Amino acid sequence: MSAIEASSRRPRLLGLTPPLRGVRSGGRGALLVVSLSCALGVLLQAYVGYEGRVTGNPPSVLFWAGLAVMYGTVAYIVVSGKGLDRSGYAAAIVLLSLGMQLTRLVLYPSLFAYHDELIHVRVLSDILSTKHLYTPNSALPVTPRYPGLEIASAGIARITGLSAHASGSLLLLIARLILSLALFLVVERLTTSPRAAAIASLLYIANPQYLWFNSQFSYQSLALPLCFAFVYLVRRLEGVRAAIAWPCLLGGALAISVTHHLTALGLVALLFLWWILCFYTKGRPRHLTAALVTTIATTLLWGFFARHTIVHYVVEITQNNVKSVQQLVSGQSNHVFFKDTAGDQTPVWERYASLASVILIIVLLPLALWASRAWLRTKRAPALVLCGVAAAYPLIPLGHLTDATSEVADRSSGFIFVGIAFLFAWWAFGAPRAFDRAAAGSAIRKVGARAVACAAMLVLFVGGTVVGSGPPWLRAPGKYLVSADNRSVDPLSVAAASWMGQHLPRDQRLYGDRTGELLASALGKQHPLTNLADKVDNGALSRLLLAPPSPTDVTTAKQDRLQYLLVDRRIATDLPHVAIYTDTGEYGSEHRTRPPTKAAVTKFDSVPGADRIYDNGSLSIYNLVGLR
């Protein structure tokens, strides 16, 4: 009789039994080391953020050291496989996942500062202030129609009394818990090896989006974990009656559909592939059809509900991607690797690390796929689906050939790396035991094999993080930079946005630079004019900020019924770090070599009817109502 079974016979208060009693003494030590390394990593990241704010330059050595210590330590312990039992492996992975998420949260402990985060902050703040869902958000009109993340955050805020930021942070930690456990259980079920499951979770952490984009307060950060959990649920409900399984699946599918459009579509594709493959494998899970039907139904239903925003959004993304590919084919692409549009370059070692990670996967992928023929013989449909997903990996590096497609490619890595993680972990530590065969023999050979495996995983993690995190300045707080998302959020821009929130009526039509508009929306509760929401021509509108004085300025402001203009005069000091000052299609974005002139950013001082009503030395707000 196992310890768990024995203990479960004794009723205990709150239903708790000691599940990890089976952790071996070596496992306790290993868990302690894991937690200490994660603690050190989180503290180092907090120090990086502190230094960045105080000196203006976050120390990159400490930044990478903190992450490498966390990842490398857990990788070594899991690869060596000593001391940990199943629960120990799971605990180690959960500690690392939570630690990685915490490294992001401590960099901005009081404000979500990244581009997409500010968009979702507005949605959350609207829910909390209006007490209702679906308040339009002009910064990205599709977001209020997919409010799962914000609903859950608002619920936590209202039930616990915590601030919106604290509730969102707590939800992101829960999402990471779900992600790590779901992936662990899915891979463990297929490989029957907890160690392979832990390795797969580690490899998934190396995906380019894990540490950055999918850790942000943004809808896919919650939808992706729910999606993985849903896939696990399909298998787990095997022995459950349909009367119970259907509501569970419907609830899960609806929650995912309400949270993120592309994740819901990805889930439909995954389940459909699985369902189709079951004709070959002849072993369809009992509730797979129900899962597919509920997912398709909820995705279509919610897509129909959000059709006015989602169609325009997807069409614009598609058009941008097609345009980028056309430019690439015709040799007109001006995409530059490892250099932003203001001239900041990625350090040489980081470039090599990212290239090494891509090359490593491309070299190993055919070998692992060749070995995965074994799944054809055993006819396990989910494993075949994951192998197929892994085979799509080349799309990620290929997508990086243009600006627009690189964004799509990076986003897809959240899905594709599930396949990569499963395939490599199974190949090396599952049934084929490629790693164990390589490590068999002398102690030196064993140590060497472990070192090589850990080094390879570390390269994948660091390289993947470099690929996904973009330019170095994006990674931590520091001195103000022009049009640089989080680095453009500083006390001056926050002060202007907060003033708008306190002294202007809500939802006034406003135009400004990229970050200024987002802050005006998130903190100032204003309505930034965008092509997606207002069908404005950004080429003409951006002339108000970027072009020299022109008689057409007043006409443009009148045509677009512009009420307020937010001008950050610092944009005249440097080129934009994210390619644009405002939005796509802006004035002068083709072949720009110098920032706008000072005359351009101060021209409204001399326009009759334009009132400069706010000035903090860097940012001015003009009231243009008098132009009408």
Partner 1 sequence: MSRAELGIRWSVIVAAVAAASVAAPTAVQAPLGIISLISTAQLLARLTHRRDPVECWLVGSVGTVVLLILSGLLVNYAPHGLTTTNWNLAWALISGVVLIGVAHTGPQLAFGFSRAAAAAFAILGAATVGAYALADAGVSRQNAQPVLAFSALSYGTNHEATLLIQSTNAGGSFQLSVLPDDANRGATSEDVRLPTRGVSRARVVVQLPRARSRWVLVLRSTSGSRATTRKLILAKATNIG
Q: Using CB under 8 A, which residues numbered 591 to 610 contact partner 1?
A: 605, 608-610
Residues numbered 153-212 forming contacts with partner 1, rule: CB under 8 A: 154-156, 158-162, 171, 174-175, 177-178, 181-182, 184-185
Window contacting partner 1 (CB under 8 A); options: 81-89, 349-357, 554-562, 587-595: 81-89
C-beta of 123: minimal distance to partner 1 in Å? 12
68 is a site residue for partner 1 (CB under 8 A):
no
Least distance in angstroms from the C-beta of 371 to partner 1: 27
Nearer Cβ to partner 1 (28/592): 28
Backbone dihedral angles phi then psi of residue 270, each to the nearest 5 degrees: -65, -45
Q: Which of 527, 500, 415, 485 is nearest to 117 (CA)?
A: 485
Give phi and psi for 134, each to the nearest 5. 70, 20
Please report, for residues 285, 286, 382, the alpha-carbon distance to residue 238 in angstroms, rounded to integers and kept in the order given: 7, 6, 14
The answer to whether 4 contacts partner 1 (rule: CB under 8 A) is yes
> Considering the rule CB under 8 A, would residue 15 count as an interface residue with partner 1?
yes
Tell whether residue 67 is a contact of partner 1 (CB under 8 A).
no
Q: Which helix (H) or strand (E) holds 567?
A: strand 564-568
Q: Is 317 exposed, middle or buried (0-12, 13-18, 19+ CB in 10 A)?
A: middle
Q: Is 223 in the site for partner 1 (CB under 8 A)?
A: no
* Sole window of 105-113, 293-301, 354-362, 517-525 interacting with partner 1 (rule: CB under 8 A): 105-113
Choose one: 254-262, 400-408, 437-445, 565-573; the region binding partner 1 (CB under 8 A): 254-262
Closest distance of CB 394 from partner 1, Å: 32
Nearer to partner 1, 98 or 273 (CB): 98
Using rule CB under 8 A, residue 446 touches partner 1: no
Q: Are the beta carbons of 87 and 23 closer than 8 angstroms? A: yes
Separation of alpha carbons 192 and 450, rounded Å: 21
Query: What's 339's DSSP letter?
Result: B
Measured between alpha carbons, how far is 503 from 611 in angstroms, rounded to an integer? 15
DSSP letter string, 183-197: HHHHHHHHH--HHHH
Residue whose entry in the numeric block shows the structure tokens 């409010």: 147
Q: Which of residues 31-60 bind partner 1 (CB under 8 A)?
A: 31-32, 34-36, 38-40, 42-43, 45-47, 49-54
Q: How far is CA 78 from CA 182, 198, 202, 427, 523, in A?
A: 18, 7, 9, 16, 44
Please tell me the distance from the alpha carbon of residue 248 to that of residue 84, in angstroms, as a whole number: 33
The CA distance from 54 to 43, in Å, is 16
Rounded to a whole number of angstroms, the minimum distance from the CB of residue 516 to partner 1 is 15
Does the footprint of partner 1 cover residue 495 (CB under 8 A)?
yes
**Do residues 235 and 491 make contact, with C-beta atoms less than 8 angstroms apart?**
no
Report the nearest approach of partner 1 to the CB of residue 621 (Å).
8
Which range binds partner 1 by CB under 8 A, 227-235, 289-297, 513-521, 571-579?
A: 227-235
CB atoms within 10 A of CB 522: 26
CB of 27 to partner 1, least distance (A): 7
Binders of partner 1 in range 466-485 (CB under 8 A): 477
452 binds partner 1 per the rule CB under 8 A:
no
Which one, 175 or 365, has the nearer CB to partner 1? 175
Cα dihedral value 152, 153, 155, 159, nearest 10: 140
Closest C-alpha to 157, from 180, 131, 193, 185: 131
Kindly indicate which of the ranges 131-139, 208-216, 466-474, 509-517 contains the residues binding partner 1, using the contact rule CB under 8 A.
131-139
The C-alpha atoms of residue 19 and residue 612 are separated, in whole angstroms, by 65
For the bound state, the minimum distance from the C-beta of residue 396 to partner 1, rounded and expressed in Å, comes to 28
Six token digits for residue 358: 């891509």
Among 104, 210, 614, 624, binds partner 1 (CB under 8 A): 614
626 is a site residue for partner 1 (CB under 8 A): yes
**CB of 45: closest distance to partner 1 in angstroms?**
7
Residue 594: exposure state from Cβ atoms within 10 A (0-12, 13-18, ≥19): exposed
**Six token digits for residue 553:** 């300025």
DSSP summary character for residue 14: G
Nearer CB in complex with partner 1: 322/613: 613
Using rule CB under 8 A, residue 109 touches partner 1: yes
Q: Which is nearer to partner 1, 400 or 570 (CB)?
A: 570
Residue from 72, 81, 141, 148 binding partner 1 (CB under 8 A): 148
Min separation Cβ 366 and partner 1, Å: 33
Binding piece for partner 1, criterion CB under 8 A, among 255-263, 284-292, 536-544, 591-599: 255-263
Length of the chain: 628
Which of 187, 196, 200, 254 is the binder for partner 1 (CB under 8 A)? 254
Measured from the CB atom, the residue of 199 and 396 that comes closer to partner 1 is 199
- Of 27 and 141, CB closest to partner 1: 27
Residue 133: CB minimum distance to partner 1, A = 5
What is the rounded CA–CA span in Å between residue 310 and residue 300?
Answer: 12
| Closest distance of CB 307 from partner 1, Å | 18
Residue 623 is classified by DSSP as E
* Nearest CA among 324, 471, 331, 332 for reference residue 399: 324
What is the total count of residues that contact partner 1 (CB under 8 A)?
117
